[in-house]
Structure 1
């Protein structure tokens, strides 16, 4: 029996659904655990290989911006006990924006100007896997480690700058790095760190997209999936935040650790795949 729908159309429908599911699930996890979503979207889009690295960065940033916007709106109208330290988070965001510009410049230089797309992708996957492994060990041992409370504004901005540089170069939005820094350097619990991370992510992703809009524009990017992924980001942000405000610190931490472990395995697979193919 033959399908009434041509195969190529069926294939496109499957791809649309796939990218909607990716953005939705990443945004739900991102909103629940403060991951942002980019750290999940980036390696998954690398895995499927439908887009080049610059396009993946734009799609990820747009999805994460949609998620963080809806998450913050939901938090502002809910009666949750979420605590967002706007002074610290805004200073981190300020540093993150500056660092993000530098990180994107370095990324564009290697990936676009020098044409080292494969080498850059390999470096991103290896670095991300190593960073996330360190973060996982930190979270498993954090109760035995000392935390700090930095108050010097310049130091806070410099921490944000480092976060922004790494996040922009790796194309991940910075979520897990933000959460770890907020716990280690500002003694926040996991739940509050997750909400503050989303606050920081909103500004960093907004600035990243504005930078592209004001410089190269979006004409060189394949944004055919942008509408589906932004839709997933909006719905995921609402669902994830609604879940997060009802969860305990302990449960959020377990979800965070499980998500980090999954992302490590995806990145390791991408590393092996890149080496085998090239």
Structure 2
């Protein structure tokens, strides 16, 4: 690994942890492009490595939020349990698709996430409990997304936990990290046949993310989450355009 790549991994890994700590999600959407285009990993290996990195960072971040009293363990375990099987199935389906197709789908997901984060948000009614089947569908959807594309799904989890389980926004940010960790483990089990992993790079990446998590958790007390979300979304939007511009031609060539 050359010094420039190492520096980029440290900076971008910290940025991912920062987003996870401050927003309860979103940062993991950057992991796959970094692993593929900077570390030059095979797409399927990158998805597997992403699940390890995202799961480790989410677990550490959950501990920080739990110490602050903002993790609802029982509700989080319930929501995460719904997504366990879906995450495993998503991982198995992911291994059947060609790398360019996965990256194109990933770029589309990044585009959708960025636009969702940039849109003015309507106030979410806290403390409102939804029916069990809506909670089930929410858990299944987030779990499948985690296993299929190797992302935590925190950008969906935070509003889902507020709407479906009646959590406050602060509790939803912390609790989402526990759900992400659960789904990451299930998704990882579905990717065990993807080959050996670059553990040195994963450890460096995860360590940088832990530093970012500490900073992100502190930022929630100083900078409005809406402002952080907008800045991060702008960065994701640019990266989505780059990923799509590379992989749409590759997919067209693959199927031609």
Aligned to 1:256: 229
Aligned to 1:68: 58
Give the conservation status (yes or no) of the 8 Å contact 1:67–1:235.
no
Give the conservation status (yes or no) of the 8 Å contact 2:104–2:247.
yes
Give the conservation status (yes or no) of the 8 Å contact 2:82–2:139.
yes
* Residue 224 of structure 1, CA deviation: 4.3
Secondary structure, aligned partner of 2:70? coil
TM-score w.r.t. structure 1 length?
A: 0.78
Secondary structure, aligned partner of 1:84? coil
| Unpaired segments ≥5 residues, structure 1 | 1-10, 111-115
Give the conservation status (yes or no) of the 8 Å contact 2:130–2:163.
no
Asked if 1:33 corresponds to 2:6, the answer is no
Q: Give the one of 238, 245, 251 matched to 1:272.
A: 245
Aligned length: 251
Q: Give the one of 57, 82, 85 matched to 1:98.
A: 85
Question: Could you tell which deviates more after superposition, 39-48 or 64-73?
Answer: 39-48
Asked if 1:201 corresponds to 2:180, the answer is yes
* Residue 187 of structure 1, CA deviation: 5.1
- The C-alpha deviation readout for 1:170-191, integer Å capped at 9, x for no partner, is 2211111112322444454443
User: Which of the two has higher C-alpha Rg?
Assistant: 1
Give the conservation status (yes or no) of the 8 Å contact 1:74–1:242.
no
- The C-alpha deviation readout for 1:106-147, integer Å capped at 9, x for no partner, is 11111xxxxx2112211221133124423543xx1313x777
| Unpaired segments ≥5 residues, structure 2 | none
* Residue 160 of structure 1, CA deviation: 0.4
* Residue 69 of structure 1, CA deviation: 2.2
Aligned to 1:182: 161
TM-score w.r.t. structure 2 length?
A: 0.84
* Residue 54 of structure 1, CA deviation: 1.5
Give the conservation status (yes or no) of the 8 Å contact 2:83–2:143.
yes
Give the conservation status (yes or no) of the 8 Å contact 1:66–1:237.
no
Aligned equivalents of 1:163, 1:153: Cα separation in 2? 16
Aligned equivalents of 2:140, 2:218: Cα separation in 1? 30
Aligned equivalents of 1:159, 1:167: Cα separation in 2? 12
Q: Give the one of 124, 136, 140 matched to 1:161.
A: 140
